[in-house]
Amino acid sequence: MKHGMDRFAFGSIFRRPATLLSHIAEVSYRRATLFALAIGIPFCAGVALEQPAGALLGSVTGLLFAFADDDAPLPMRLRLVVIVAVGMTVGGAAGALWRGFPWEVWVLFIAATFASGAFLGLGRAATLSARYGAMALVVASGAPELQWIEIGFVALALAVAMVSRSVDHALAGPLPQLRGGVPRGPQHDWMRFALAYAGAATASLWLGTEIDPGRALWVVVTTLVVMMPDARASYVRMVERVAGTGLGVVAAFAITSLIHAPIVIIVLVLLLAPLLPHHLQRRYWLHTALIALLILLVYDLATVDPRLLRGLFTERLQDVLLGGALALIGTMVAFPRKPPDEDH
């Protein structure tokens, strides 16, 4: 009997890795499918309806909704998307009401970014809602006035996220997420981070609007994304985001210079979409490069004058460098180096 149990235990050693690999492959496939649908359906709808601006807005919004997922029962997964959508709607509506970055926009932006930094230790819903709301505020206040048909692509992206997530959950249950929660530190340290986070983001917005209001979002997004409630994690993200964006820009420039057939660009976008989530944890530089490449390819379809696109490549690198530099300053303020112990 003992011999039989030993054989069973010995065999299970080989079965466990196979089971684990099968589980990882299943989760990766599910996540890739959700990203492909969230980005691809609004993008294809915009292309089919000859609405390139709608394709761009819908695909980027779908990308944001795809990241707004949680390892939880279906009502919580859907609730997270709805809360994020509410934050984006409030920010977008406020930006459309106060166009050109008047003082009301600055007050709301500071409040939203402070809340995003303060909520990092409490949960994804409030954090992402405030962060995405701040992004929508910048877009709507600084970009040309949106048409109702373009706003419809945002609604389409939300519908796709809700339906695809419901189907995914019905078929396979909760979807394990890429990252866990952020541990909450002492209250005074956490508040200092939130203040530094809002300060760095506000400085990014000011610098972006001074250069070009249409570029403000790109500077702001870099600061909001790379600045983490951990000094080492922030520094690593800054380096990897700059390197990844540079790689994505070079790849986009090469592809758009050699390929002028829209159908090829469309196929490339659809092929890139399911690859986006797989490198977030371990290869953030590659994750950033793929996102930059995808967004620039969509811009290529939406841009009539090729010279504007060539300038866009250089601008993206400049914006990421500026946003990363301000995030670096904010991180140094949030996590000042302690003086060495005089007794040692």
pLDDT value of position 338: 56
Dist CA 336 CA 117 (whole Å): 17
pLDDT value of position 233: 81
Measured in residues, the chain has a length of: 344
Query: What does the DSSP assignment read for 272-341?
Result: HGGGGGGGTTT-HHHHHHHHHHHHHHHHHHH-SSHHHHHHHHHHHHHHHHHHHHHHHHHHHHHSPPPPPP
pLDDT bucket at 148, cuts 50 / 70 / 90 = confident
Dist CA 57 CA 301 (whole Å): 12
Name the helix (H) or strand (E) containing 80: helix 74-97
Distances (CA, A) of 265 to 5, 67, 254, 298: 58, 24, 12, 8
Question: Max Cα separation, the chain?
Answer: 80
Could you report the per-residue pLDDT of 48-104, keeping only the tens digit for each? Answer: 998 888 898 999 999 999 998 888 889 999 999 999 999 999 999 999 999 999 999
Answer whether 53's CB lies under 8 Å from 149's CB: no
The model's pTM: 0.84
Dist CA 277 CA 123 (whole Å): 20
Please indicate whether residue 231 or residue 204 has the higher confidence score (pLDDT).
204
Dist CA 115 CA 110 (whole Å): 8
Name the helix (H) or strand (E) containing 22: helix 2-48
Written as one letter, the residue type at 139 is V
Q: How many other C-beta atoms lie within 10 A of the C-beta of residue 178?
A: 17
Domain boundaries, the chain: 31-334
Mean pLDDT across the chain: 82
pLDDT bucket at 281, cuts 50 / 70 / 90 = low
pLDDT value of position 25: 65
Answer whether 253's CB lies under 8 Å from 313's CB: yes
Answer whether 321's CB lies under 8 Å from 242's CB: yes
Q: How far is CA 24 from the centre of its chain?
A: 22
pLDDT value of position 192: 85
- DSSP assignment letter at 119: G
Query: What does the DSSP assignment read for 205-241?
Result: HHHHHHH-GGGHHHHHHHHHHH--SSHHHHHHHHHHH
Q: How many other C-beta atoms lie within 10 A of the C-beta of residue 106?
A: 17
